[in-house]
Amino acid sequence: MALHLRSRLPKVGTTIFTVMSALAQEHQAINLSQGFPDFDGHPDLKRLVKEHIDAGHNQYAPMAGLMELREAVSEKIEGQHGHSYDPVSEICITAGATQAIFTAIMALVHPGEEVIIVEPAYDCYAPAIELARGTVVRVSFDMAKADLDTDALDHAISDRTRMVIINTPHNPTGHIISESSMKWLEQRLTGTEVIVLGDEVYEHIIFDGRIHESVARFPGLRERSLLVSSFGKTFHTTGWKIGYCAGPEPIMTEFKKVHQFNVFCVNRPIQHALAEFLKKKEVYLELNDFYQQKRDFFCKAIEGSRFKFVPSAGTYFQLLDYSDIDMRTDIEVAKQWTKEKGIASIPISVFYGDPPEQQYLRFCFAKNEETLEQAAQLLRQL
């Protein structure tokens, strides 16, 4: 007798990232869809992981992470943003940023409470809110200003709001939330019980001399915020799935209550390696220049094409407007170009609950120059 299962996520299917990568593999297309590099991590970091495996550091790590790694993260954040999180009570090492985001939502959002997300929004936010039985409130990013739409946010915040999720540098647009918008949010939430979840996984990938405006930089925000980031994005090791979450002790206490029954702890030898490798500050401090060169190479390589675009301000993604080439939906275009033109991208309509009418595709430029040049040749022919 067949089971009749009632889905907790009835509207959720296979993610577009899996779909597009599978299509790219099936049709041997150049894959600029899913956000991962086609080059390897630093050889010293890989060597350190092997050394710690051989040294026998292969059993459970402490639940919140190795103290030496939490101390290194605290020092890193203080160097960037001028605020020191207590490594004992205010930092937790996680199995990637997605686990940190899921854990934060499950720990802090109660049934019926509202969580504001800024669209286009990364696709893990809404399902986690729904699993927590919260209510998703969608606010659009101001694409014209390349910033938060503070008027829309102001209207969305109510006495039912439990959390606001912000993402900067922003995936998929590549925009950066401004200092003025962060200060506005800091002031707007004063006197409320609203928690801010800052998804800052691309914190070290920001271009043209801009500054990453972390929640940690603003006293009125950091007292109510969780900061989530990813070592995988920073060190070209997305498959290792390791990140961290930092925030004030009362919030992190609730976070760790869920974390311990979700994953309990995270890969130990990699934690040992990262604790040592974070001493090489130049590796992550020079990441902006490394990826800006790739952005500039890609943008120059597609000059003469029929795409319209503004160079990305951060992340390793570039949005291209294809409205002068094709008027079909972005999902249709992305799939056809993968199958027939040999180039895979991500349609950004999947980052919306109710997609607006627009023709944008997201391309990942975290690739070798040879890959980017081959992709650009195909794009120039469209």
Query: Are 126 and 61 in the same domain?
Result: yes
Same domain, 71 and 51: yes
pLDDT at 196: 98
Nearest partner of 187 among 150, 162, 152, 158, judged by Cα: 150
Residue 269 sits at φ, ψ, to 5 deg, of -60, -35
Q: What's the pLDDT band for 12 if we cut at 50, 70, 90?
A: confident
Region 136-151: mean pLDDT is 96
For position 369, which CATH number holds? 3.90.1150.10
Query: Residue 373 phi/psi, 5° resolution?
Result: -65, -40
**Mean pLDDT, residues 339-346:** 96
pLDDT of residue 115 exceeding 90, the answer is yes
Shared-domain flag, residues 234 and 123: yes
User: What pLDDT score does 186 carry?
Assistant: 98
Q: Specify whether the CB–CB gap between 322 and 341 falls below 8 A.
A: no
Last residue of a domain, one of 264, 283, 302: 283
Q: Is residue 61 part of a domain?
A: yes
Reported as half-sphere exposure (CB side, CA atoms, 13 A), residue 168 has a value of 24
Q: Strand 343-344 vs strand 317-321: parallel, antiparallel, or unpaired? A: unpaired
| Structural domain containing residue 358 | 16-41+285-380
Provide the pairing of β-strand 317-321 with 243-246: unpaired
- Number of structural domains, the chain? 2
Supply the pTM of this predicted model: 0.96
Please say if the pLDDT value at position 4 is more than 90: no
Q: Is the pLDDT of residue 3 over 90?
A: no
Instruction: Give the model's confidence band at 16: pLDDT under 50 very low, under 70 low, under 90 confident, else very high.
Output: confident
Residue 8 lies in a domain: no
pLDDT 10s digits, 162-214: 999 999 999 999 999 999 999 999 999 999 999 999 999 999 999 999 999 99
Q: Would you place residue 34 in the very low, low, confident or very high pLDDT band (cuts 50, 70, 90)?
A: confident
DSSP class per residue in 40-81: ---HHHHHHHHHHHHTT--SPPPTT--HHHHHHHHHHHHHHH
Query: Which residues make Cβ contacts (< 8 Å) with residue 60, sequence separation at least 6?
Result: 264, 265, 268
Rounded mean pLDDT, 127-147: 96
Q: Residue 14 — pLDDT band, cuts 50, 70, 90?
A: confident
| Shared-domain flag, residues 246 and 326 | no
Average pLDDT over the chain, rounded to an integer: 96
Is pLDDT of 1 > 80?
Answer: no
Last residue of a domain, one of 257, 283, 309: 283
Q: What is the pLDDT of residues 228-269, one digit of tens each?
A: 999 999 999 999 999 999 999 999 999 999 999 999 999 999
- 34-43, 86-95, 113-122: least confident range: 34-43
Which of 259, 283, 307 terminates a domain? The answer is 283
The rounded distance, in Å, linking the Cα atoms of 345 and 253 is 40
